[in-house]
Structure 1
């Protein structure tokens, strides 16, 4: 099966599936121009590395991707000066980080995209995920976001080597 295709006008397609998605509030920009904190979704092709989910809020998603339940100690380093930059970390953590166990529902399911991770280049962007969209599909910090039901439907049909290609709308 082909890649997941996400267009800069907020449409995600995979096989016969087609979903509305939220993108970065800073728009989309070429991967080489992506910077930490710019709120932009990076254009490019990214492997889907890992799925995390809130075990207290939903059952394990049906997926062939690597799957792990979140805990309140899960975080993601977003400090370009730290050796753990753009990596999963265990909280408490001294450097700047995002908490993955959130009060809202946007991180109830998180799919880690392989953006700036092999190896991470400090300042080129961290924590680019596929996650749950807010009800109004408002802009993300650079991630791609789907309605929970759409995200779960997508995960159920993806092969273990799935990738997402984010492209400019024609």
Structure 2
């Protein structure tokens, strides 16, 4: 997978996508809304079993109480955690469909450096052109097709030439 200005190139086609509101950055920081430059790898797949069938045999369900820590001062920063959880976090099981299917990358993981930014996911977009907080987002049916075609370790390349 290679991010281009026109979309994500993968499996012989160009998939329309949106990126972070902060554009592409070679110096990613927590809260900047940027998609980080680099060669990232898909390290996991999460899905809502109450909303869709398992998209791949290695996909893990998102259960009630599944959260993602985004508190740079917390020992579990940039890790999945469970409720109740006091430090800052993001709910993975959302009321909207944004995280019904999530591909996890190894950005700042497994050993997170505080302040470099928490998870970069591949997930569904809100609508075409609507930016993310740094993730890469796709049309829902495209995301499902991508999820079915990848394997753990698939590379997601964000070229430095795209940095603002």
Does the pair score TM above 0.5? yes
Structure 2 residue aligned with 1:14: 10
Structure 1 residue aligned with 2:143: 151
Of residues 79, 91, 96 in structure 2, which corresponds to 1:104?
Answer: 96
Structure 1 residue aligned with 2:45: 51
Q: Is the 8 A contact 2:24 2:162 kept in 1?
A: no
Instruction: Find the aligned partners of 2:66 and 2:18 in 1 and give their Cα distance.
Output: 24
Which runs of structure 2 are paired with 1:121-136 in the superposition (5 Å)?
A: 121-136=113-128
- The change in CA–CA distance for 1:40 and 1:159 in structure 2 (over 3 A counts) is same
Deviation at 1:137, TM superposition (A): 3.2
Instruction: Find the aligned partners of 2:153 and 2:75 in 1 and give their Cα distance.
Output: 27
TM-score between the two structures when normalised by the length of structure 1: 0.90
Which runs of structure 2 are paired with 1:110-125 in the superposition (5 Å)?
A: 110-125=102-117
1:25 aligns with 2:17: no
1:75 aligns with 2:67: yes
Instruction: Find the aligned partners of 1:161 and 1:26 in 2 and give their Cα distance.
Output: 26
SS in 1 for 2:18: coil
Q: What is the alpha-carbon root mean square deviation over aligned residues?
A: 1.5
Deviation at 1:169, TM superposition (A): 4.3
Of residues 13, 21, 32 in structure 2, which corresponds to 1:38?
Answer: 32
Q: Deviations over 1:73-109 (max 9, x none)?
A: 1000000000000000001101000000111111010
Deviation at 1:10, TM superposition (A): 4.8
Which runs of 4 or more aligned residues in structure 1 lie more than 3 Å from their structure 2 counterparts after TM superposition?
A: none
Instruction: Find the aligned partners of 2:6 and 2:115 in 1 and give their Cα distance.
Output: 25
The gaps in structure 2 that reach 5 residues or longer are: none
